[in-house]
Structure 1
Amino acid sequence: MRTQKLTIFSLACYSILMSNTTSSHASPQKVEIQQQIPLAGAKQNQQFNLTNPVNQQHYLIQVFKPKVPAPKAGYPVLYLLDGNAAFPYASVIAQSIEFGYQRHHKVPPVVVAIGYPIENTINVKARTYDYTPPYSGHLKPHPDRTLSPYPQGGAEQFYQFIQQQLKPVIAKHYQVNQQQQTLFGHSYGGLFTLYTFFNHPEAFQHYFAASPSIWWNDFAIKAQAEKFNQQSKNKHINKVLWMSVGELERKKDSAQTQPSDIEQLADQLKNVQGLDIKTFDIAKATHFEAMFPAINLAFKLTESKPSSD
């Protein structure tokens, strides 16, 4: 049966190839190439600017607003860091979920992407400061990575901006469920996600750290994980922490057989009661490629069905 299917497929491909060949001699049509084309989704994709009054850093906030009815408690919310890069992809995923609403009754989240008012996808200088935890003394460099020349240590300021400036604006203008919030960050953004989880676990219900920079400042985040462990004893925290890493991020040497940084961190937290912790390997993905499959997984944390009553 499999051979037969392959034969039919081959004949179909041959037919398409021949039809393309016969028409290949036609003169190409004249077209007008447009630039700066709008993102699919029309009015569902919205944006505004917001400024952190503490350090006057400007942010571009992009929001996907669902059309399907909101659950009684409001839409779940997915906050994405590196919004310039993440939002177009996330918006299309949200629209795909919404397209299947009549069949699956899945409600897409309100997507809130936190970026910067720039033309590029990544603002290296700004994110380096915003996403890295506070520290004292000198930063400890990693032997395999060049120490960044940009200022670092602004994670607490950035966290306070999200809580005190951004979230109130979102709650005012969108029907959201403040008990169904997910924070997603990749690389330094994943480090910020872990920092927020360990220091302000009440801020979100779900956390997704994709390819987090656990190595930063000589693995300082592991000390925060241990402190969190101690503080969580005899508590049931009822939180979700998922982490992922690209398969090709590991070096091709004997170290590849050792547990990854995220696996080691997950093992460190395995005894925290009420913590749903999972790790994922993104097959055949480099560090930057692994961001987008991880966003797919983050949407799984936001799934919500409308109330039946």
Structure 2
Amino acid sequence: MEPPSGPASRRHVPWNRLLLAVSLLTFWTPPTTAQLTIETMPPLAAEGSDILLLAHNLTENPLAYAWYRGERVDNSQLIASYRVDTNATTKGPAHSGRETLYPNGTLLIQSVTQKDTGSYTLLVTKDDLQTERQTGHLHVLLSLLTFWTPPTTAQPTIETMPPLAAEGSNILLLAHNLTENPLAYAWYRGERVDNSQLIASYRVDTNATTKGPAHSGRETLYPNGTLLIQNVTQKDTGSYLLLITKDDLQTERQTGHLHAPLSMQFSSQEY
């Protein structure tokens, strides 16, 4: 009779499961403290396009934001500042008339030119009156119009940035080739105009945004037609339709698609 190899209740974890656990841990280690970062969307901007300087990992209860041209805090280079408690925006000496500062710290620059290339610094004042800052960089490419004449009728298109969004990240649905003088924009979930699926609409003449039934609290509609969705989840995957109302009251529409891959998660189990 062979002796027992060990206690009957003892079980071994297969090596392939251990290797899987180790490999997943090498890909992801949660940060202890998230640092303020600036993301330029899109990373490379052609002359005449609009860009967003997105602020990530902001403090939970900021008192104020301020954006500056360059890599240091210089009042002569202040673009704009925003007070959270009063919801008031103040323009600075470096404001060109094309910048918009939003309550979430995002800076929109419209119709960028080569002169806009350079560094931009965000100063955040926290509720304890401490400050933190971070610098982002904008690269403006020469316009392709110098070498190429576009067709007379360009159709609107939707670009998802980034094309694949990890769960918890932010994405932009960028609208290209929009009509010159739009009256309004409206974004819907799905591939058709359905008021029950309205996320948000924007009236250009009144600069007013209206949230719809499909607004989750994470979407921001910008004056250039771009839709920002923050902290995306698997439930956000699908189609999004932009409806544009032109100055002659005619409409045009275009559909974009959002793909949010599953995030890598590891849960320990006993075997």
Higher fraction of helix: 1
TM-score range, shorter chain: under 0.3
* Higher percent of residues as strand: 2
